[in-house]
Amino acid sequence: MRPLVARALVLAGLLGALGCGRKPATGLTLAGSTSVQPFAEKWAEAFQAKNPAVEIHVQGGGSTAGVKAAVTGTAQIGMCSRELKPDEAQAVTATVVARDGETMIVHPSMPVNDLTVDQLRKIYSRETTSWKEVGGPDRRITVVTREQGSGARGAFEDMVMNGKQITSAALVQDSQGAVRQMVSTDPAAIGYVSHGVVDSSVKGLRLEGVEPNEETIVSGRYPLVRPFLFLTKGAPSGAAKEFIDWVLGPEGQAIGRKEGLFPPAKQ
C-alpha cells in the first residue's frame, strides 16, 4: 500500500499547505522593473528590520511586467521605471517614489565625454555607425540596449528616440548589470543604465554638456530623468500603503539617496 499511502500523504500535504500555508496577511510582493529592484530590495531589507512581521518579496521581470503584475494582482506593488502609457495609467495608480537619471555609459578608454541627444538618437538608430563621427576613434559603435519590456528602454525611447526605432542590430541585455558588464569589457560599446549603477568599470557621459549629478537631475536640467513608480491597483492600502509611505518618508528617502536615487519632484 506504499504508493497509496504516499499518494495520500502528498494530497494531504498539498491540502494542508493550501489550508494553513496561505500568504501571511502581512505579506507583500513587489514585482517589475529590474532598475528599481535593487533599490526596492534595500528598502525592503530596511523596512523588514523595523517591521519583522511583514514579509516582503521583490521580483524582477521588467517594468511592463510590473504593470501587468499589478493589474493581475500577482503583486501588490508593481515597480516601473518609466512613465505609464495612457492605457496603463487607467488600470493602475502610480506613486512616484524616486527619480533616476538615466546615464549613458561607455568604456573608460573611450575619449568621447559628451554627446547631444541628437547624436545619441542617430547612434541608436544606426544612422551613425562609427565613433569617429562623434569625436572618437574610427571604430564601429557597439550599441547595447535593454529588452523591449524594460522601463529603462521605454524611458530611453520616450526621451531620446522620438519615435525612431532602436536598431535591430543592437545587443539586447536583460539587466542593468549585464549592460554595464558588456560596456565595461568592450571598448567600442555604449549603453544606458541608472545613475546609481555607474561605477568605476565604466564612464558616464555628459548629455548636451550636462553632467548627470544630483543638482542637474533634481533640477531637471539633465535631459534623461525618469520616475521610479510604485503601482497599485487603486489607491494603496494595507501593508502596501505602509511600505510606500515609509519609502516616501525620511528613512526611505535617505536610503535612496545613499544608493544614487533622487527624491521625487516636489509637488
Partner 1 sequence: MLLAFSSITILALITLFIFREGAPLMARVGLGNFFSTEWRPGEGLFGISLMIVGSTVVTFGALVLGVPFGLACAIVLAEMAPDRARTLLKPVIEILAGIPSVVYGFIGIVVLLPWIRSNLGGPGASALAASLILGIMVLPTIIGISIDALQAVPNSYREASLAMGATRWQTIRRVVLPAARSGLVAAIILGMGRAVGETMAVIMVAGNSVQMPRSPLDPVRTLTANIALEMGYAAGDHQAALFATGIVLFAIIMALNTVANLARGRRVKRATAPAAGAEDLQAARDDAPQGESPPGAPGVTGTQRP
Partner 2 sequence: MSTAVRRRVSPRQAQALVSVLLWAMMATTVLVLAFIIVFVLQRGLPHVTWEFLSQPPRASGREGGVWPIIVGTLAVTLFAVAIATPLGLGTAIYLTEFTRENRFTRMVRFGADSLAGVPSIIFGLFGFVFFVITLGFGWSILAGGLTLAFMVLPTVIRTSEEAIKAVPAGYREVALTLGATKWQSIVKVVLPSALPGIVTGVILGMGRSISETAAVIFTAGSSLSQVVPTSLFDGTRTLSVHFYQLAREGISAEKAYASAAVLVLSILVINVSAYTLMNRFIRRYR
Using CB under 8 A as the criterion, which residues of the chain lie in contact with partner 2 when the complex forms?
1-3, 6-7, 10, 13, 17-18, 20-24, 27, 29, 31, 38, 41-42, 45, 48, 55-60, 72-75, 174-178, 180-181, 201
Please give the size of the binding site for partner 1, defined by CB under 8 A. 30
Asked whether the beta carbons of 28 and 239 are under 8 A apart, the reply is: yes
> Is position 168 an interface residue for partner 1 (rule: CB under 8 A)?
yes
185 binds, among partner 2, partner 1, none (CB under 5 to 8 A by kind): partner 1
> Is position 158 an interface residue for partner 1 (rule: CB under 8 A)?
no
- Select from 41, 83, 114, 147 the one that contacts partner 1 (CB under 8 A): 147
> Is position 91 an interface residue for partner 1 (rule: CB under 8 A)?
no
Using CB under 8 A as the binding rule, the residues of this chain from 33 to 62 that contact partner 1 are 60-62
The label of the residue with cell 503601482 reads 231
Pairing of the two strands 93-106 and 77-80:
unpaired
Asked whether the beta carbons of 94 and 85 are under 8 A apart, the reply is: no
Q: Which is nearer to partner 2, 62 or 236 (CB)?
A: 62
CA 139 to chain centre: 30
- Select from 125, 181, 213, 216 the one that contacts partner 1 (CB under 8 A): 181
> Is position 201 an interface residue for partner 1 (rule: CB under 8 A)?
no
Sole window of 93-101, 141-149, 206-214, 230-238 interacting with partner 1 (rule: CB under 8 A): 141-149
Q: Where are the beta strands (DSSP E) in the chain?
A: 27-32, 55-61, 77-80, 93-106, 114-115, 142-146, 171-173, 189-194, 203-204, 206-207, 225-232
The label of the residue with cell 572618437 reads 136
Please name which of 265, 260, 263 lies closest in space to residue 102, comparing C-alpha atoms: 260
> Is position 174 an interface residue for partner 1 (rule: CB under 8 A)?
yes
Hey, is 144 helix, strand or coil? strand
73 binds, among partner 2, partner 1, none (CB under 5 to 8 A by kind): partner 2
- Select from 29, 37, 64, 194 the one that contacts partner 1 (CB under 8 A): 64
Burial class (CB in 10 A: 0-12, 13-18, 19+), 221: middle
Q: What is the Cα–Cα distance from 79 to 25, expressed in whole angstroms?
A: 21
Q: Which is nearer to partner 2, 120 or 239 (CB)?
A: 239
The label of the residue with cell 521588467 reads 62
Question: In the complex, which residues of this chain contact partner 1 (CB under 8 A)?
Answer: 3, 7, 60-68, 142, 147-149, 165, 168-174, 178, 181-182, 185-186, 188-189
